[in-house]
Structure 1
Amino acid sequence: MNAWVLVRVHRGAAAVLGLLVFSACLLVAAVPKATQSSYDEALRDVIATSSASRSDLIMTSARQAGPDGPVTRESLLAMEQSLRAGLPADLLPVVTPLGSGTSHYGLSKPNNSIMSVDGEARIHQALDLSWLSDADGRVRYVAGRPPGPPSRLDGGPLLEVALARRAAEEMRLAVGATILLTGEKLAARVSGLFEPADAGDRYWQHNAAVRQVMKIRPPRSDVDIWHATGLVSTESLPVLGPLYQNMSYRWVIGVDRSAVTALGAPALIEAVRAFRGAVPVAVTGSSRAALETAFDDLLTGYLARLRVAESLLLLVLGGLLAVAVGVIALAVRLLAERMHRSLALMRARGASLAGVAVTATAVTSTVAVPSALAGYALSYAVPGPLTAIVHLGPLSVVAAAALLAAGHAAAHRWPSLERRDDVTAARPSPRRITVEAVIVVVALAGVYLLRSRGLTTQVGERGPDPLLLLAPAGLTLAVALVVLRCYPFPLRLAVRLAARLRPAVPFLGLTLAARARPASALHALILLPALAVAVFGAVMSGGLAATQEAAAWQRVGAPARLDSDLLIGPEVVDRVRKVPGVRKVVPATRTSAAVGADRLTVTVLAVDVHAYRAILRDSPFALPDAPVLVSPELRGRGVIELPGTPPRELTPGGVVTGLARAYGTGPLILVPPGDSLPNTVLVEGDNLDGRRLLAAAGVPGALVTTLGDVRAEIARAPLTETIRRTFTVVTIAMAGYALAAVMIALVIGAADRNGALSRLRTLGLSEAQARRLTVLEISPIILLTAAAGLLLGLGLPAVLGPGVDLRAYTGDLAVDDYPTDLTMPILLAGGLAATAVLGAFLHAALGRRRSLGSAIRVGD
């Protein structure tokens, strides 16, 4: 039989199947692309927020000058080209060319002590000499000119140097000043002062010493040496080479973070490690040549967190795919029901069972393949890399639909046109009951193992634990089977109660629901996981939001905080207090100290605890009513002695949890304020603007951190936005699939229902009563499934708690608890159940009305 003829005859059922296959293929191809794109954005954020000295490839060498000939720009460039030629193939696409980004090379001769400046003796000062390959394009001169060729002074070379304007001011070095250096007869003359052309360029993270004075304390000394760095000209390179050995040579190959992807990160890690071993060989004639980078460590740390964090998305997307395939299975069953008479006629006329299966599969494939191709093609509108699941996902959906269609052909093993389901009551076979019991036991055992043994380690290397992915799916299937088998029992009790009522519709509707074949309630297998995943997403979203709020409080320690390296006078505090929106200002003094016999470094915050408690009333912190508080790390230490003149002995009066992170990485001690001026101001108010607070303070180098800014920073993280969007898309898709499952189930059972209603119509049942009867028949299983799905969704976070690390979504703070607010989960479950019941009502209300005469003829 021509498959296209059957598609045209049963075009309604075919259209439903095509729409479901289209939506499933679109979701299974588009969502992973968007998710992987967010993974790439998160990785690029990790690289962008790390220093360039950690993320770029830096080759350093203490190469001996002289034996290899004079040092020139050409010789350094040849070495740079040699190093680039040794880059592994995986690194080539992610590095920037020379002169672009942060890629450059240069040399420096540090620790040249200054003897005098224009005849004036200087002590504790040094001038480091440096040459950078692209310095001319990175600076702008504000005084003087760029350095020129070297000359001679008192028989020794005189090098022209350019200094950063700020460094020259601090070192009191003016344009034209002549500087005599110790050691060889070497002098330098300041030719000009410059400023960075772009102060925010990551290039200057490699050359911070060039733009500012560095204060370095030598070993076994209590005096800082002030180092300024002078840029020399290219013509000075041959002069530096023969005079000074053990110079520091450096070649920087920048990393283009826009070219780095999460999928390519493992290969990049191996490439960096291979390149690290090749650098000493490539830098010929050198000593202690090495690759200095933390790029591979950054990638390794990110992948370790990603492998754990993506487990949550795998769970959610796996649930969505399972529900989508379940609804497609119902649609295939609907199409098989419509084709039953045609295929039975083929079988009765001598067609083989294989031929019937091929015909059923061909009809399904005729609908599913174009729909899958359309969904797959539309997924390309979503930006993101093409992973294997993007291609295999739609293919698996089509294959599942085809296999289900072939499986339904087994109903035609015996040639027959009629089925008499009313002759005998269908009961589940012992084999089926045994299989379902095994599924329930295995699911409970999986949950027990997940809770008792936890997850495997090495998640970053091996990926998510399979138990984490299988245990929730097994538990959901087990709960669905229990509901499917047990829902008739409470209905029979309801039937007994309805039998005492005068109206006949409740009794008849509940009786039909209680006596329905299990196959007619198969939509529960779709409705329950849809509800469970939606409620699970709502609970997880609430937990993420609460933990993000706590993480923001832990970073700031107040609604707003002003920190300064300088002491803050009373006039500054008054100006901050007058900023619009500020209600309360609490000054504090933050210092560090080493306490105890183990010399543990702690942060000491001298603050009025009572006033501090007042501005933390909306925070997750609980400050006990005591003048001295400590963080949990110091619990049980007894009396704490703070060094000083004289030392102070503190007796902790309570413990405060979570606050130490705002002020450092170590333990925290809150003590009463002393006589010293504050260096921290804690602010409480409404709509606090960090820029206005900073402008009002007017303290050079001060930093203002607000709770709103930190909260927004955490929420804007790519992974956080991804999980929020994914939960939203999955919830909407689940609602649509649940409604489709109910509608398809109603259509599948329409023949049996019409037969029963036809007989009841002849006994006087009205059309309105028939509609209410249909709603009552389908509503009990929907309501029971909704209750089971709600409970399962609320329980899944507790089941999966030890296995899902959500710190990637919460500002590196673990989610220890989930909110007890049940409003959103109940609204989701109730809304989804109400939508399904409404679908049943619309199906009954909009169905074809039958006259009493036609009702008599139906089914007989």
Structure 2
Amino acid sequence: MSSDIRIFGALVRRESRSDLPLLGCLAVLVLVLAALGSAGPLLLARQQDTALSQRITAAQRNGPLLDVAGQFTLDVAAGYPASAAPAVPLRTVLPDSGRDLAGSFGPVLGPTTHPERTTLALPWGDYLSTTALADGYGDVSLQPLWVSDADAHVRYVQGQAPSAAAVAKGAAPDIALSQAQARALGLSVGERFQVASRTDADQNAPLSYRLSGIYRPVDTGDDFWTAQAELDQVQVETPTVPGQPSPLVVQGLVGAGAADSVSTDGFGYFPVDWYYRMDLGRAANARSAPVVTALATLGNSLQQGWCGALDGNGNPECSLDGQTVTTFAVNDTATPLLTAFAQENRQFEALASFAVASLLAVGLATVVVAVRLLLRRRSGDLVLRRSRGASTTELLLSRMATTVPVALLAGAGGWILGRPLAPSGTSGHPLPALAIGSVAAAVLLVPLLTWYTVREPGTARRSRQRRPVAARRYVLEGTGVLLCVAGVTALRVRGSSGGSTGGGIDVQLSTVPVLVALTTVLVLVRLYPVVLRLLAAWARRGGGTVAFVGLRRAGRDAPATSLALFVLVLTLGTAVFGGLISRSIQDGTAVGARWTTGADAVSVAAGNIAPGAVAPGLAGPGAVRAELVENLRVVNLTGDGDGQIFNPVALVTLDPKALAAAEPGSPLAAQLSALAAGPITQLGDGSDVLPVLAVAAIADHREQTGTYSANAIAAVSGHHPTRVRPEGTLDRAAQLDPVLGPLLDQQPPGTLLLVGTTADDAVLPLQSSGSTAALLWARPGAAPAALRAAAATALQAPQTDVQLQSDVLTALRTDGLTRAVGRIYTVCTALAVLFALLAVALELVLTARERGRTTSYLRTLGLASRGAAGLQILQLVPLAAAAAAGGVLLGLVVPRVLGPALQIQQFTGGPTGPALHTDYSLTLVLGAGLALLVLGAAAVETAVARLRRLESVLRLGEQ
């Protein structure tokens, strides 16, 4: 027994030494796959976490994502809290109130939110002017504000900051104004003025304030002056009576003690806002869902933490640090951001899953090629040992004894080596299934293929009929095709939703492209031998011996090289698919940015702006070559004939002549040109009938209803009854005209659309629920700063949102998820190319004996050395051509096959998904590169063979 063990051990050692190069190759493959399972998911998760953190940072430049609003309620007679708690001055409560309130945010929100700013609003009042106002200004509304972090964002050019100490009884609290505000009010440091309160005006005397300082803004790179722009700007409102001076709105800074002083004068209600900055940390993506859940219940958590029993009116009695506060209201803008990112992230994972699945398929196929070559080198020895009486079990154990330890050690080593490469603290988790699968593939393939080789004597195998073998092959190929068709059909029916596991991998979406690649290879393996036989027959008639033999040999070897063909086709297909996605996203972002801004720049104001508030003459010799103002109103339509209701409907009005001048090729301008000639008519009941263009759902219904009564939602100006009459149907191109984007982007999906001309504005009401947009087209070479300044002054409204198309385009293209898509396809393609190169090299070694024997025969018959070299290369040209054609075809077909399951609109914006644009230059380079790769490998093999002079050697007994 011991001697048998020694003999077996010696045999294993001998085989291990002779198979050392291939065992090393197998070990490297398993090690790399195991390392990918260890580090890959974490590297991918870091991309997602970085993208979400980037979104949060960008959003918080415009203001905090979380705002908790309340109202301190004081006893106006004594200045004490209305409850029985001891009196606590507001000046001592305010600085720490934001941090104290966050103590009840809970274990999820607490660590991710940080107090950023607390603001306390003193009562609005009418400024009682003692000095002359700047020309053109009328009444002034003034509101003092205490802002916790104001001192860090202003620089006092005159005077000093308002005092935070208590204000002596009878003294005027300090207030500070910006340079623009002080200039508009005609005030200088040290002057006193009065403000008449709008609350209980008959009971309260005017409040006195002393201007303690004049400041200018300091840009600290955060969101302060975006969120608190009113502390610097003078807000000019539209006068209620045309021709009258414009009213002003001014906000000034006061100290923490001002509220205590004002409360003794009969005011006891002070609105307060606590603003919080959000930081989800390194594992941002994993924390987003719990944060959304916690935000949904934050209001209840605050009530439970700070409120007790109900008062006599049934309202909760809340107290914060000894001060009575009303019920807390949560203004949450983080949830929409996190929800939108979650939807985009699911699509990113779907796109990434194809690249990852393709890489794994290529890697495992390379493992199969390595194992086949390992066994091919020992096939003669196995058959000889079997003929000498060795059992199948003995042969399996001898083969496993050399490969199993190597695979296990390589798998463990890859897993260990991958850990230092993986970033820590991300949302991802290692994928041990990949490491286990790669080890299992290497461990199980060896005994399976060994058993297939030695399960019966070779003579018995050759004597069996070939028909059952062919039948089994047809069944396997048919099964693969059916699985592919079923997977594609199910995926198209399912669409882009569902299918992903908890780890984010969409199994169905990642499997279907691999099945499509397998089907492509099956078709190629069946077709290109037929083509080769036809070419060989043509070469035979032409007398080309080398071409005839090479083509015949390539056709005969086609089934044997199918695995290498699969690797090459899938690698190239993935690269072409990635290039198509990158190009489509690149082109789609340009369309999305154009839809978002409508022009080179846009200024959007909430609510309809009166025509007098639109700055005229921006188009001229400056940065702007053309401008267009459009209004959006939200109306309910009721059919006058049958009572059919359409709700809500967006009604957009604009000047078609101005649009045609700015955009001569605008499809909307072409349709509106005929409508502009139609007059507004009036019915007998005094209602105006406006001609409009309508979407098909409304326009097609006109025959039954005639006209529609339009009821404006949230109208802020009186108007007489209005009706609309569809005069035409908006075609698809007109509905997608970019000039409509800045206004329609604000409406929920599915909102119906009407478009009229600016003549309709004369009879339509102004709406607080509507909006006004000023679109600007830049002159060539115009500086972005000049264009932004022009857009900022286009609408004379208190708050406008200014966007430049170039900024939107940059934001879309530098978005974390968009860039991550390109990165993952680049990395996976690079690794797949390395695997494919190794697979091709191993496949060439695997089939080198047959090619060498053919060359030796011909050399013996007198074939020249140059002809032998050409024959070597010619035998692999069909493989290169088939791989290049199949890979390009796969990369171009897969996006069309996936259909609705492939959605990239989340990365581009815009009203619809972008068209798929093939990057033909990249596709050509990739296809040619792969063909050159195979031909280069063939040339290297030929050079090595010539160096060793193997093509002229026949073994003993060969004929």
State the TM bucket, normalised to the shorter chain: 0.7 to 0.9
Question: Which residue in the other structure is 1:601 paired with?
Answer: 651
Partner of 2:370: 331
Partner of 2:304: 281
Contact 2:62/2:223, CA 8 A, preserved across alignment: no
Work out whether residues 536 and 796 of structure 1, in 8 Å CA contact, stay in contact via their aligned partners in 2: yes
Partner of 2:621: 574
Alpha-carbon distance in structure 1 between the residues aligned to 2:294 and 2:450:
54
Code of the residue aligned with 1:201 in structure 2: it is: D
Evaluate the alpha carbon distance shift between residue 426 and residue 523 of structure 1 in structure 2; reply closer, same or farther with a 3 A threshold.
Answer: farther
Number of the residue aligned with 1:70: 87
The residue identity in structure 1 corresponding to 2:156 is Y
Structure 2 distance, partners of 1:697, 1:60, is 32
Tell me the equivalent position of 1:857: 956
Using the TM superposition, give the Cα deviation of residue 526 of structure 1 relative to its aligned residue in structure 2, in angstroms: 1.2
CA contact (8 A) 2:23 2:403 kept: no
Deviations 1:706-758 (A, max 9, x none): 65554433322222222223333344444443333222111011233333433
The answer to whether residue 826 in structure 2 is matched with residue 728 in structure 1 is yes
Task: Say if 2:102 is the partner of 1:87.
Answer: no
Residue 189 of structure 1: aligned partner: 210
Range moving further from structure 2, 659-668 or 139-148:
659-668
Q: After alignment, is 134-143 or 123-132 more displaced?
A: 123-132
- 2:331 aligned residue: 292
Task: Quote the offset at 1:547 in angstroms.
Answer: 1.8
User: Which deviations, in whole Å up to 9, do the C-alpha atoms of 1:821-841 show, x marking residues without a partner?
Assistant: 745434422331232133223
- The answer to whether residue 859 in structure 2 is matched with residue 761 in structure 1 is yes
CA contact 1:70–1:238 (8 Å) conserved in 2: no
The equivalent of 1:233 in structure 2 is 255
Residue 444 of structure 1, CA deviation: 1.0
1:46 aligns with 2:55: yes
- What is the CA-CA distance between 1:9 and the residue it aligns to? 2.7
Aligned to 2:410: 368
Q: Does structure 2 conserve the Cα–Cα contact (< 8 Å) formed by 1:54 and 1:293?
A: no
Note the alpha carbon deviations across 1:305-354, whole angstroms, 9 max, x for none.
Answer: 21123311211221122112212221222223334466677876566355
Structure 2: state its 5+ residue gaps: 1-8, 75-80, 198-202, 308-317, 319-324, 639-648, 676-691, 711-718, 748-752, 763-772
**C-alpha separation in 1, matches of 2:233 and 2:952:** 99
1:27-48 alpha-carbon deviations (Å, 9 max, x no partner):
6666654543332232223223
Deviations 1:153-188 (A, max 9, x none): 7xx563233333433333444432131544444433
User: Following superposition of structure 1 onto structure 2, how do residues 432-451 of structure 1 map, counting pairs within 5 Å?
Assistant: 432-451=473-492
Contact 1:30 1:379 in 2 (8 A): yes
Report whether the alignment pairs 1:536 with 2:577: yes
Q: 1:795 aligns with which of 886, 893, 909?
A: 893
Output the amino acid matched with 1:130. Answer: L
Task: From the superposition, tell whether residues 649 and 636 of structure 1 become closer, same or farther in structure 2 (CA, over 3 Å).
Answer: closer
Deviations 1:575-596 (A, max 9, x none): 348xxxxxxx345454556889
In structure 2, the CA distance between the partners of 1:850 and 1:230, relative to structure 1 (3 Å rule), is: closer
**Aligned residue for 1:107?**
120
> What's the CA shift for 1:697?
10
* Residue 593 to residue 131, structure 1, CA distance change in 2 (3 Å): closer
| Alignment check: 8 A CA contact 2:500 2:506 kept | yes
Q: Is the 8 A contact 2:516 2:894 kept in 1?
A: no
1:263 matched to 2:286: yes
Q: Tell me, yes or no, if the aligned pair for 2:299 and 2:329 is still in contact at 8 Å.
A: yes
Does 1:304 find its partner at 2:343?
yes
Is the CA contact (8 Å cut-off) linking 1:807 and 1:814 kept in structure 2?
A: yes
Question: How do 1:613-652 residues align onto structure 2 when only pairs under 5 Å count?
Answer: 613=663, 624=670, 627=673, 633=695, 637=699
What CA distance in whole angstroms lies between the structure 2 residues aligned with 1:76 and 1:698? 35
The structural deviation recorded for 1:151 is 5.0
| Structure 1 unaligned regions, length at least 5 | 578-584
TM (normalized to structure 1)?
Answer: 0.82
- 1:668–1:733 distance in 2 versus 1, CA, 3 Å: farther
Tell me if the contact between 2:194 and 2:209 (Cα under 8 Å) persists in the aligned partners. Answer: yes
The amino acid of 1:352's aligned partner reads: E
In structure 2, the CA distance between the partners of 1:127 and 1:177, relative to structure 1 (3 Å rule), is same
Q: In the alignment, is the contact (CA less than 8 A) between 1:82 and 1:282 conserved in 2?
A: no
- The code of the aligned residue for 1:263 comes to A
Q: Which amino acid letter does the alignment assign opposite residue 726 of structure 1?
A: I
Distance across 1 between alignment mates of 2:328 and 2:951: 97
Task: Note if 1:315 corresponds to 2:354.
Answer: yes
Q: Could you report, residue by residue, the CA deviation over 1:612-649 in whole angstroms, capped at 9, with x for unpaired residues?
A: 345x6xx9x796487358987489759999999x9999
| Distance in structure 1 (CA, Å) of the matches to 2:193 and 2:805 | 51
Q: Which moved more, 1:323-332 or 1:450-459?
A: 450-459
Aligned 1:827-842 pairs, distance under 5 A: 827-842=925-940
The answer on 1:17 being equivalent to 2:38 is no
Q: Which residues in structure 2 correspond to 1:345-364 (within 5 Å)?
A: 352=394, 355-356=397-398, 358-362=400-404, 364=406
- Check conservation: 1:158, 1:189, Cα contact below 8 A: yes
Over 3 Å counting, the alpha-carbon distance change for 1:384 and 1:624 in structure 2 is farther
Does residue 751 of structure 1 match 2:834? no
Could you tell me which residue of structure 1 aligns to residue 311 of structure 2? Answer: none
SS in 2 for 1:574: coil
1:714 has 2:812 as partner: yes
For 1:596 and 1:130, locate their aligned partners in 2 and report how far apart those are by CA, in whole Å. 40
Q: How far apart, in 2, do the equivalents of 1:11 and 1:251 lie? A: 69
> What secondary structure does 1:50 align onto?
helix
| SS of structure 1 residue aligned to 2:949 | coil
TM-superposed deviation, 1:458: 9.8
Displacement after TM superposition at 1:806 (Å)? 0.7
- 2:274 alignment partner in structure 1: 251
Q: Is the aligned partner of 1:130 residue 2:145?
A: yes
Other structure's SS at 1:244 match: coil
Shift of the 364–758 alpha-carbon distance from structure 1 to 2, 3 Å rule, reads: farther
1:335 corresponds to which letter in structure 2?
Answer: L
Task: Letter of the 2:109 partner, please give it.
Answer: L
**What is aligned with 1:161?**
175
In the other structure, the counterpart of 1:660 is 739
Task: Compute the displacement of 1:573 (Å).
Answer: 0.8
1:212 Cα offset (Å) = 4.3
**1:705, 1:58 → 2: CA distance?**
24
Give the Å deviation of 1:606. Answer: 4.9
Shift in alpha-carbon separation, 1:328–1:465, aligned structure 2, 3 A: closer
1:142: which partner in 2? 157
Give SS of 2:108's match. coil
* Deviation, structure 1 residue 530: 1.7
Hey, what's the Cα distance between the residues in 1 that align with 2:127 and 2:805?
48
Given that residues 53 and 280 in structure 2 are in contact (C-alpha distance below 8 angstroms), is that contact kept between their aligned partners in structure 1?
yes
Distance across 1 between alignment mates of 2:47 and 2:518: 31
Counterparts of 2:519 and 2:743, CA distance in 1: 48
Q: Does 2:712 align with 1:691? A: no
8 Å Cα contact 2:49-2:427 kept in structure 1:
no
Which residue matches 1:778? Answer: 876
Alignment RMSD = 4.7
Stretch of structure 1 that moved more, 466-475 or 20-29? 20-29
1:438 maps to amino acid? T
Cα distance per residue 1:662-701 (max 9 Å; x no partner):
5432768596999x9x96542353x554236568999699
**Cα distance in 1 for residues equivalent to 2:948 and 2:464:** 30
Quick check: 1:541–1:724 contact (8 Å CA) kept in 2?
yes
Residue 467 (structure 1) aligned to one of 481, 497, 508: 508
Q: Tell me the distance in 2 between the aligned counterparts of 1:748 and 1:19.
A: 19
Secondary structure of the structure 2 residue equivalent to 1:575:
coil
Aligned-pair distance for 1:279? 0.8
Residues 1:730 and 1:224: Cα distance change in structure 2 (over 3 Å): same
Structure 1's 294 and 553: CA in aligned 2 closer, same or farther, altered over 3 A? closer
CA contact (8 A) 1:556 1:707 kept: yes
1:65-94 alpha-carbon deviations (Å, 9 max, x no partner): 312333434444665454333232233432
Secondary structure at the counterpart of residue 212 of structure 2: strand
- Is the 2:41–2:429 contact (alpha carbons within 8 Å) kept by the matching residues of 1? no
Secondary structure of 1:254's aligned partner: strand
